Amino acid sequence: MLLEVEDLCVNYGHIEAIRHISFSVEEGQVVSLIGANGAGKTTTLKTISGLRTVREGRVVFEGRDITKVPAYERVALRLSQAPEGRGVFVGMSVRENLDMGAYVRTDRKTSAYREDLERVFSLFPRLAEREKQVAGTMSGGEQQMLAIGRALMARPRLLLLDEPSMGLAPKLIQQIFAIIKEINEQGTTVLVVEQNAAQALKLADRAHILETGEIVRSGTGAELAGDEAVKAAYLGGD
Ligand code: ATP
């Protein structure tokens, strides 16, 4: 297992944002977490990337308990997150943002770094065209691509994506999911949190449904997409 989340409980003060969540991610998989607003999806991802502290439970990455490892060290372990709401450095150029993604790497002057930059540019040709543009002046979709590209520059073994389709036009949503599939096929394991259940289930090897801080259903993407209760609640009943 690449990632094991065991019996995780996270609070904001007395609010129990997530309660006794357990799931795992195998190397090579795409795993999706689906749920409505406030279900605890972002909290789960932030806890895995080290931005929230755990009240109870463990996060194990490549067999190592990282529950207390600080976020910046987790990036160096090659676990990296593209945050919700994009979170790019708006005053920096596209290229500077990508360089920031590689900040923890020690091989920035080598061909490996250049190769990764080329890989990001081939996944997102728009970023290559806009290399010198200030990130804050890019469109929402372009900033989303940049956030994913920046996370990829850390060469993650596990890429965490928080609502990559949020705020995007339908055509761009298709495109972002196709790119996530390609990233996975190139060898990066992906854990994606989404409100767009239809797309996220289509992509997923395994998926879990979160409701008010708990996992209420798990299965393969196809199993959940075919489940009547899931269809009624998350797929518009069709
Ligand atoms: P969304 O899709 O709306 O982002 P989510 O599934 O990602 O929702 P979380 O953001 O993880 O949900 O929130 C889970 C619960 O924790 C919610 O009830 C939310 O109000 C609460 N919560 C999140 N962040 C904080 C915070 N900083 N302080 C207090 N409560 C918080």
Nearest CA to ligand 1 atom 15: 17
Of 11, 33, 41, the one to substitute when testing ligand 1's pocket (max ligand atoms within 8 A of C-beta) is 41
Residues in contact with ligand 1 (CB, 6 Å cut-off): 12, 15, 17, 35, 37-43, 195
- 102, 116 Cβ separation under 8 angstroms: yes
**Predicted pLDDT of residue 112:** 81
**Predicted pLDDT of residue 219:** 97
The two tokens of residue 140 are 């929402």
Nearest CA to ligand 1 atom 26: 12
C-alpha angle 14-16-21 in degrees, rounded to nearest 5: 155
Residues of the chain with pLDDT under 70: 84-86, 104-109, 237-238
**Predicted pLDDT of residue 194:** 92
Name residues whose C-beta falls within 8 Å of residue 158's C-beta, 6 or more positions apart in sequence: 2, 3, 25, 61, 78, 79, 80, 188, 189, 190, 191
**Predicted pLDDT of residue 155:** 87
Q: What is the pLDDT of residues 139-197, one digit of tens each?
A: 988 898 899 999 899 889 999 999 998 888 888 898 899 999 999 999 999 999 998 89
Q: What is the ipTM of this complex?
A: 0.92
Alpha carbon distance 231, 144 (integer Å): 28
Nearest CA to ligand 1 atom 1: 37
**Predicted pLDDT of residue 237:** 53
The pTM of the full predicted model, rounded to 2 decimals, is 0.91
**Predicted pLDDT of residue 35:** 93
